[in-house]
Amino acid sequence: MDRGRSALVRWTTALIVGSLAACTTVEVPPAAPGARPADGSLPPAIQQPASRWVPVRWSELPGWGLDSLHEVWGAWVRGCEKPSPVQAPLCAEVRPLIMAGTAEQQAWIESRFQPYRVVEPDGSAPQGLLTGYYEPVLEASRTTTFSHRVPVYAPPLGVRLGSNEPPWYTRQEIDTLPAAQAALRGRVIAWLSDPIDALVLQIQGSGRLNIKEPDGTVKQTRVAFAAHNGHPYQSVGKWLLDRREIREGNWEGIRAWAAQNPDRLNEMLWSNPRTVFFREVRLTELNARFGPAGAQGVPLTPGRSIAVDPQSIPYGTPVWLASKGVVFNQQRLVMAQDTGGAITGAVRADLFTGWGNWGDAPYQLASRLKQPLQMWVLWPR
The domain segmentation of the chain, as residue ranges, is 2-27+45-130+287-380, 135-281
Between β-strands 188-192 and 2-3, what pairing exists: parallel, antiparallel or unpaired?
Answer: unpaired
Between β-strands 51-55 and 113-119, what pairing exists: parallel, antiparallel or unpaired?
Answer: antiparallel
Q: Right CATH number for 2-27+45-130+287-380 from 1.25.40.80, 2.40.40.10, 3.30.470.30, 3.40.1450.10?
A: 2.40.40.10
pLDDT of residue 13: 38
Fold match, 2-27+45-130+287-380 / 135-281:
no
Sequential pLDDT tens for the chain (381 residues): 444 433 333 333 343 333 333 333 333 344 455 555 555 789 999 999 999 999 999 999 999 999 999 999 999 999 999 999 999 999 999 999 999 999 999 999 999 999 999 999 999 988 999 999 999 999 999 999 999 999 999 999 988 888 788 999 999 999 999 999 999 999 999 999 999 999 999 998 899 999 999 999 999 999 999 999 999 999 999 999 999 999 888 888 999 999 999 999 999 999 999 999 999 999 988 889 899 999 999 999 999 999 999 999 999 999 999 999 988 999 999 999 999 877 999 999 999 999 999 889 999 999 889 999 999 999 999
Give CA–CA dist 205/10, Å, rounded: 9
pLDDT of residue 188: 98
What DSSP line would sit under 172-230, residue for residue?
HHHHH-HHHHHHTTT-EEEEES-HHHHHHHHHHSEEEEEEEPTTS-EEEEEEEEEEE-S
pLDDT of residue 35: 55
Residues, the chain:
381
Q: Right CATH number for 135-281 from 3.40.630.30, 2.40.37.20, 3.40.50.1950, 2.40.240.50?
A: 2.40.240.50
pLDDT of residue 280: 96
Q: Report pTM.
A: 0.83
